[in-house]
Amino acid sequence: MNRKKATWVSVGLIALLLLSVYTAWFGWGSKHDGAAKAIKLGLDLSGGVSITYQTVGTDDPTAEEMSDTIYKLQQRVQHYSTEASVYQEGSNRINIEIPGVTDANAILEELGKPGSLEFQLTDGTVVLSGANVTSAQAASQKDSTMGNTEYVVSLAFDNEGAAAFAEATTANVGNQIYIVYDGDIISAPRVNEPITDGKCIISGSFTMDSASELASYIRIGSLSLELEEIRSNIVGAQLGQKALSTSLVAGMIGILIVMLFMIWVYKVPGVIAAISLLFYTALDLVLISAFELTLTLAGIAGVILSIGMAVDANVIIYARIREEIADGKSVKSAIDIGFKKALSAIIDGNVTTLIAAIVLNFKGTGTVKGFAQTLMLGIILSMFTACVISRLMINAAYEMGMKDEKYFGKAKEIKTIDFVGKRKMFFIIAIVAILVGPASMFINKAAGNGFLNLSMEFRGGTSSDITFAKDYSIDEIDSELKPIIQDIIGDAEIQAQKVAGTSEIIFKTRVLTVEEREKIEDAFADLVEVNAASAAEAEAQTEAETEVTEAAKTTGTAISFETISSTISNEMRSDAVTAVIIAVILMLLYIWVRFSDFRFASSAVLALCHDVLIVFACYALIRISIGNTFIACMLTIVGYSINATIVIFDRIRENLKLRKKNEELSEVVNRSITQTLTRSIYTSFTTFATIAMLFILGVPSIREFALPLMTGIIAGGFSSVCVTGPLWYIMRAGAEKKAKK
């Protein structure tokens, strides 16, 4: 690259940066709101639509029927948002909350009215029911005769449905099969050939809208129970504007601290890293908005982790450049070699985390999927900005006159630290820290508090629907109303949602006793809208009831209580666990293949388990509420930990190739960890600083999310530096001794 070309590259990159920042903040073309303002926020940050369904035909469905219906509805509503939640209310009601949308009627029309669905022959014989349908989607394909695009509906059946459909289509080629929804025929496709693989295509004169509508009816008709909509509301954010604004301010301060730190440590490369990070942040916001990803606390975790990985890539590169300069290379050679040597560590670290994110996206649901999507996007962007944008900028800076090594710095020689020799001490510290978790759990159980502080997402609770005489803002709810409930129930975990256009507020808490419900009624008696007739009715009903059942206990029109189930169903938990297990196995296999040594993979996974257990101990010891953010926190630590470990393993692999004949294995490990020590410290600091700002400036719910994350960063840094290398050494040294014998 010559000076003229470097000038044009610089101008182009600056223009691209300005364009990204402008688009992120101000928007473009007809859109006057920037991408940052147009991002779809989750129910906890911005509110959305709340729809309540009630079973038809039975007031007492079985737990299995309700669980199956809730899980299937969860799969349906992910079309609108990965952060949509579905949970049971009372004994025969199901509540759906979809963030980022405000038109309940449009959602109801598109989602369809849940009802009974059957596939029937012309004589009325039922072939199969909607419960046998596993998938129904609108799709497009090329017409076999004309070659033009046609819209179709693609169906898939479970094993039972596939067998029944194969038998019916084999015996009825040329005849129609009626799709009957709530007694009405909604489609009557003709069988052209036997269908034996459990999948079929319904073709015809469809538009995209009509194909989507038919697919929607079939999807919603495959539920275990028939449902009817009884109410729909527009609800406000759970956390309030203060939570969102403080989180944004904290994020900006954290990024500013990181940028200043990089400039202070790395000089000219630090300035380039700061510009690259600014470019990354703006581009990330633009693409999150463009892909219509829903951003919640879990999504913010994915963004934070990817920012940490973006900084980490720059740290690896610039540390390498300094090492090469210290080794006597020219600045130009040091830049080229530094990027080349750093590439393997960057690729391996990001790919292992990307593997986990991809698996979590396809296998997970709800919060897990939202986290995975923002993380995948962030990883790809971080690699692009570090390996492409940063390289272009640093080469341009060199060609424009910054050729002296004083602009880049020189790595100082650090005395090799004996990490392997201190391994017993490190292992004892790790084991003791892990045991804090089980010990805290048993102490909590003995004190009658339960092993863990499970949130409403895991154990369910009570929904208190109160209509006030005054229209309270979210911030007023946080400062004036929540403390009243907290004093009564002795628990700070209170979610509040406003119903748009009314003075109605829905409070979600742990399960309330009869006495606690009565105290809440008394506390808000002077604030609610209750007319004389409804008050008399409420008093008569209260006297008649002796206990609170699973169904709603309604006191007049102003205050009502509903027992609600956990929003994280057993199936969702099972999906999350399965996704994590598959992700860990795939990461293990990738590390094994890339490093050609299973000991690297097993050491990394053991250290990963250490980090997760340390964070778990934090939850148990401090009694932090375990809910949706718990899953996001654990997933963040998994991604962060494995990335830090890969960097050290990459250096061990490199030094093994340069190992002298009589050099002890322990010296190779100690030298590798020492050489990457500054990188480990710097990356941990920059990621910690960003999250620390969330903890310092955030509202209580944000702090409960940030504290275990900070704990995990410390645990991840410790395990990467002090545990993984010595673990690998023990396994490898044992194998070498055995080989010598």
User: What pLDDT does 69 receive?
Assistant: 80
Tens-place pLDDT, residues 510-531? 888 889 998 998 888 888 864 3
User: What pLDDT does 509 receive?
Assistant: 86
- Which 3-state string (H, E, C) describes 177-218? CEEEECCEEEECCECCCCCCCCEEEEEEEECHHHHHHHHHHH
Tens-place pLDDT, residues 91-104? 888 888 887 676 66
Tally of CB atoms within 10 A around 407:
16
In angstroms, the CA 431 to CA 526 distance is: 55
CB 316, CB 344: distance < 8 Å: no
User: What pLDDT does 29 receive?
Assistant: 45
Q: Which of 623, 103, 28, 479 is closest to 286 using CA atoms? A: 28
Locate the domains of the chain by residue range: 47-109, 115-222, 240-434+570-740, 461-564
**Alpha helix segments (H runs only) across 267-296:** 268-290
User: What pLDDT does 467 receive?
Assistant: 87
Cut 0.75: pTM above it: no
Among the four given CATH numbers 2.40.10.10, 1.20.1640.10, 3.30.200.20, 3.40.50.300, the one describing domain 240-434+570-740: 1.20.1640.10
For residue 618, what are the CA distances in angstroms to 428, 440, 494, 635? Answer: 18, 9, 21, 15
Beta-bridge partners for 179: 119, 187
In angstroms, the CA 666 to CA 670 distance is: 6
The C-alpha R_g of the chain, in whole angstroms, comes to: 29
Tens-place pLDDT, residues 545-580? 433 333 333 333 478 887 877 766 666 677 777 877
CB 633, CB 708: distance < 8 Å: yes
pLDDT band at 534 (very low <50, low <70, confident <90, very high): very low
CATH class assigned to 115-222 = alpha beta
Q: Which of 284, 446, 304 is closest to 377 using CA atoms? A: 284
In angstroms, the CA 178 to CA 151 distance is: 19
The DSSP letter of residue 564 is E
Task: Tell me the CATH architecture of domain 461-564.
Answer: 2-Layer Sandwich (3.30)
User: Would you say domain 47-109 falls under CATH 3.40.50.620?
Assistant: no
pLDDT band at 113 (very low <50, low <70, confident <90, very high): low
Sign of the alpha-carbon dihedral angle for 80, 83, 88, 89: negative
User: What pLDDT does 567 receive?
Assistant: 67
Tens-place pLDDT, residues 142-182? 776 666 788 899 999 989 999 999 999 999 999 999 998 87
Q: Which of 412, 535, 523 is closest to 464 using CA atoms? A: 523
Do the first three CATH levels of 47-109 and 240-434+570-740 match, i.e. the same topology? Answer: no
Q: State the average pLDDT over residues 423-436.
A: 94
The DSSP letter of residue 116 is -
Better pLDDT: 21 or 159: 159
